[in-house]
Amino acid sequence: MANFNIDADKNLTYDAIVIGSGISGGWAAKELCEAGLKTLVLERGRIVEHVVDYPTMTLDPWEHDLRGGLTPEQKAKHPKGGRSGFIGAMNEHFHANDLENPYTEVKPFMWVRAHQMGGRSLLWGKQTYRWSDLDFEANAKDGHGVDWPIRYKDLAPWYTHVEKFAGISGEALGLPQLPDSHFLPPMELNCVEKHVKERIEKDFKGRNMIIGRVAHLTEPLKGRGKCQYRNRCDRGCPYGAYFSSNAVTLPAANATGNLTIRPFSIVQSVVYDEQKGKASGVRIIDAETSEEIVYKAKIVFVNASTLSTTQILLNSTSNRFPNGLGNDSGELGHNLMDHTYRVGAMGTVEGFEDQYYKGRRPNGIYIPRYVNLKDGPQSDKFVRGFGFQGGGGRSGWGAGSNQEAFGGDFKDRLMKPGPWEFFITGFSECLPYHENQVYLNKDVLDKWGQPTLSIDAEWKANELALNDQARQDAKEMLERAGLKDIMEFDNKHEMGFGIHEMGTARMGRDPKTSVLNGTNQVHGCANVFVTDGACMTSSSCVNPSLTYMALTARAANHAVSELKKQNL
Amino acid sequence: MNRRDALKKSALALGAAAGAPTLLSLLQACAKTDRLTWTPVFLSEDQASFISSFVDFLLPKTETPGGLDVKTDVFIDLMYAKTYDEAGQNQVVADIEKFNADCKAKFGNVFAELSPEDKAACFKEHEANSPKFPKTVWGGAVGPREPVGFYRSLKSTALWAYFSSEEIGKNLLSYDPIPGEYRGCMPLSEVGNTWSL
């Protein structure tokens, strides 16, 4: 792949600026560059070139001196993100340094950040599902939050557009609550998953258990290789088999010759031109030299990731917008949402002791939402719903730690796989509450002297009621499927653990109650677009990244069309 | 005084508190240094000797390599040296001293010097009295949990150090770094041992 043009300072004026290079920023860059716009992508971290900058991608445990263990110095950099349990030596270099980038937890909130080119697209779970009108109509129907300014039909062609390029594997089922994508062949369920699926679908009318729909190639696509089932995704994939900005959208943007990407660029604010009534550019601080530079452009896409995007908007004050860009409504920073995490049940499955599998599948099973559907039974305990992720497999030598045994026979038995285990965990929808919010904290500054965020958000009664039901349902399904040693669990993780932050600059129909319009333009500043998780008006119970991609492609194409009409 | 020396001294102090060292045990400690075939980077020779004997009793050589054959003990010492912070290192040293002090009280000697029968009795007692690790989902514990204590923690570390070694991971377990496909159901007999990675 060609090197990226990082010489941004030769030219301070572009057609478009994109802030951030993660999932949504990468899509904005690709769509804008392909439409012929000279586009500057501002990235606060370093350049991470596909393959070249994946130092751990092929390492076996014994090829690392600590076999994946972290030094105390490495651990000390991740007091917040480290709570996720996901940071190890093989991916530590893709996680932001919490000490240089502090934030304040007014209530507990784990904020996982990835400050480099590609952002969290290098680390994400790759579960990719379309949302449906069950989601887009939810606020209007039950009165929580404000109405989405779009419906499924507005987004459907854009889902198809991004899916054809990103590559989504899955099985078409025609479920109204989980519309089918443009699919590559699905991954396979293993013996035990097939068994549990049959039992659940037989015993519970209206429930389905499917293989996860994922942004992993199961066939080669546009020069990218298919998944090799190594399950080392979070180190970067040498085959480009999973969707990341680094492997997919940024190389496409680069191929147009219209892309410049500037690393080490910490965006301080979007610059608002009071005369023209629109944004004129973006002010950055060079992370290495602390030099301040202003870049100019006709349009600005803010895709810094949900909370960082809102942080930038809050910090972008002017006479017109004294409380932050686009904050006429007072809703900027509010209505923060996430999905619940680690609530469900697990157990063992007997009868498949002579069966095994091959490959480390970076995917599991999915049970789509079945409660409070349009035509189904309605709960009187909660609104909205939940879906489940999970999977089955055989335990390995790690199970030996708990066995009351030792010695030669014990050691040799551990060479063979242990019992089959199966688990499911619920992901519950979170309602948009005005009081779940972030705001600028000028008492705590980051390494570059910029105000940081305070996060003040918590689950409320509806989310807790959804979780209770998800846990009970999980246990009931596993019982009816014949599992043994069933254990239900609810870790009651704080918000942030879902790593699905959404809201804080929501789309809406009314500028008095929302920050963005139906094409993701900032109310009152039409040449600024927000298309990452910040724009979300509700949270669904379904993983959001595919929707960010579709919203971004739709907004970028709208921006190009408006530019051509000279409306921006 | 560097950190390692300080730790050794504090370990000695802890040992003294738990059961005053006799001249005999000091002589035994001297004798044992001859048998340690590797140079620890963090542990004292006595502590390293404990780890080696623990590993050897947990994972003895059979038709397959034993824990010592693949330097499980050497790696555990390296882990303590490189991945534990100072508080964690102090705790390990205290735990080893306590383990040995308990052995002395019950069996009359430190673990490394016990007969196989006494070692087995010691392990059995720890197995019965050590809480179990919780189940995990996506790398995080779920369900009820309580500290597993030093014995089970060291057992777990030793299993990891053994099974993640190149010899076991590549040559004993079923090693397939690039499977290339996912087959959801196949006879275990076609694979043999547990997948390594």
Residues B86-103, mean pLDDT to the nearest whole number: 98
Residues of chain A with pLDDT under 50: 1
pLDDT given at position A8: 83
For residue A261, CA distances in Å to A3, A35, A42, A50 come to: 11, 17, 6, 14
A194 contacts in chain B (CB < 8 Å): 184-185
Helix (H, G, I), strand (E, B) or coil at B183: strand
A 10 A CB-CB count for A280 gives 19
Helix (H, G, I), strand (E, B) or coil at A423: strand
pLDDT given at position A541: 98
CB A122 within 8 A of CB A130: no
Helix (H, G, I), strand (E, B) or coil at A435: coil
Phi, psi for residue A301 in degrees, rounded to 5: -105, 125
The CA distance from A24 to A530, in Å, is 9
A96: closest CA of chain B, how far (Å): 20
Residue A312's contacts (CB-CB under 8 Å, 6 or more residues apart) are A19, A267, A268, A269, A270, A302, A304
Beta-sheet strands, E only, within chain B: 135-137, 140-142, 183-187
B41 in A contact zone (CB under 8 Å): no
User: Does residue B115 or residue B6 have the better pLDDT?
Assistant: B115
What is the total count of domains within chain B?
1
Residue B65's contacts (CB-CB under 8 Å, 6 or more residues apart) are B167, B168, B172
Q: How confident is the model at residue B36 (pLDDT cuts 50, 70, 90)?
A: confident
What kind and span of H or E run contains A301? strand A292-302
Residue B150 lies in a domain: yes
Residue B171 lies in a domain: no
In terms of Cβ atoms closer than 10 Å to its own Cβ (0-12, 13-18, 19+), residue A322 is exposed
A225 contacts in chain B (CB < 8 Å): none
Each residue's pLDDT tens digit, A212-268: 999 999 999 999 999 999 999 999 999 999 999 999 999 999 999 999 999 999 999
B78 in A contact zone (CB under 8 Å): yes
A491 in B contact zone (CB under 8 Å): yes
Closest CA to A469 of A384, A366, A365, A349: A384
Torsion B182-B193-B77-A402 (CA) sign: positive
Q: What does DSSP say about strands A39-42 and A104-105: parallel, antiparallel, or unpaired?
A: unpaired
A 10 A CB-CB count for B17 gives 12
State the best of B83, B157, B162 to mutate against chain A, taking most chain A CBs within 10 Å: B83
Q: How confident is the model at residue B21 (pLDDT cuts 50, 70, 90)?
A: very low
B27: closest CA of chain A, how far (Å): 30
B141: closest CA of chain A, how far (Å): 8
Range of the domain at B124: 3-164
Domain spanning A8-127+242-338+502-564: which CATH class is it, in words?
Answer: alpha beta
CB A432 within 8 A of CB A331: no
Each residue's pLDDT tens digit, B53-93: 999 999 999 999 999 999 999 999 999 999 999 999 999 99
Q: What angle do CA A514, A517, A518 make, to 5 degrees?
A: 125
A191 contacts in chain B (CB < 8 Å): 184-185
Q: How confident is the model at residue B27 (pLDDT cuts 50, 70, 90)?
A: very low
Say what the pTM is.
0.94
Residue B184 lies in a domain: no
The CA distance from A339 to A501, in Å, is 8
Please say if the pLDDT value at position B10 is more than 90.
Answer: no
A61 contacts in chain B (CB < 8 Å): 164, 169, 197
Phi, psi for residue A358 in degrees, rounded to 5: -130, 135
Q: What does DSSP say about strands B135-137 and B140-142: parallel, antiparallel, or unpaired?
A: antiparallel
Partner-chain residue, chosen from B75, B173, B197, that has the shortest CB–CB distance to A415: B173
Helix (H, G, I), strand (E, B) or coil at A528: strand
Put simply, the chain A residues between 86 and 125 with a CB less than 8 A from any chain B CB are: 86
Token match 């009931």: residue?
A476
A234 conformational bin, left if phi > 0, alpha if psi -120 to 50, beta if neither = alpha
Phi, psi for residue A394 in degrees, rounded to 5: -95, 140
A469: closest CA of chain B, how far (Å): 17
Q: What angle do CA A333, A337, A338 make, to 5 degrees?
A: 135
DSSP alpha helix (H) spans, A167-268: 191-203, 250-255
In the numeric block, which tokens belong to residue A88? 């190890």
Mean pLDDT of all residues in chain A?
Answer: 97
Residue A157's contacts (CB-CB under 8 Å, 6 or more residues apart) are none
Token match 């923690």: residue?
B153
The CA distance from A460 to A436, in Å, is 10
Q: What angle do CA A434, A436, A442 make, to 5 degrees?
A: 110
B42 contacts in chain A (CB < 8 Å): none
In terms of Cβ atoms closer than 10 Å to its own Cβ (0-12, 13-18, 19+), residue A123 is buried
A365 in B contact zone (CB under 8 Å): no
Per residue, what are the HEC states of A372-421?
Answer: CCCCCCCCCCCCCCEEEEEEEEECCHHHHHHCCCCCHHHHHHCCCCCCEE
pLDDT given at position B35: 65
Please say if the pLDDT value at position B121 is more than 80.
Answer: yes
Please say if the pLDDT value at position B162 is more than 90.
Answer: yes
B152 in A contact zone (CB under 8 Å): yes
Contact B188 A70 (CB under 8 A): no
Please say if the pLDDT value at position B34 is more than 60.
Answer: no
What kind and span of H or E run contains B80? helix B72-83
A346 contacts in chain B (CB < 8 Å): 135, 137, 142
The CA distance from A187 to B184, in Å, is 9
A399 in B contact zone (CB under 8 Å): no
Token match 């190890």: residue?
A88
A190 contacts in chain B (CB < 8 Å): 184-185
Closest CA to A482 of A316, A336, A299, A352: A352
Domain edges within chain A? 8-127+242-338+502-564, 171-211+340-428+460-490
Residue B21 lies in a domain: yes
Each residue's pLDDT tens digit, A56-92: 999 999 999 999 999 999 999 999 999 999 999 999 9
Each residue's pLDDT tens digit, A399-409: 999 999 999 99
In terms of Cβ atoms closer than 10 Å to its own Cβ (0-12, 13-18, 19+), residue A257 is exposed
User: Does residue B31 or residue A437 have the better pLDDT?
Assistant: A437
B57 in A contact zone (CB under 8 Å): yes
For residue A565, CA distances in Å to A14, A32, A273, A561, A568 come to: 18, 16, 21, 6, 8
A 10 A CB-CB count for A56 gives 19
Put simply, the chain A residues between 157 and 176 with a CB less than 8 A from any chain B CB are: none
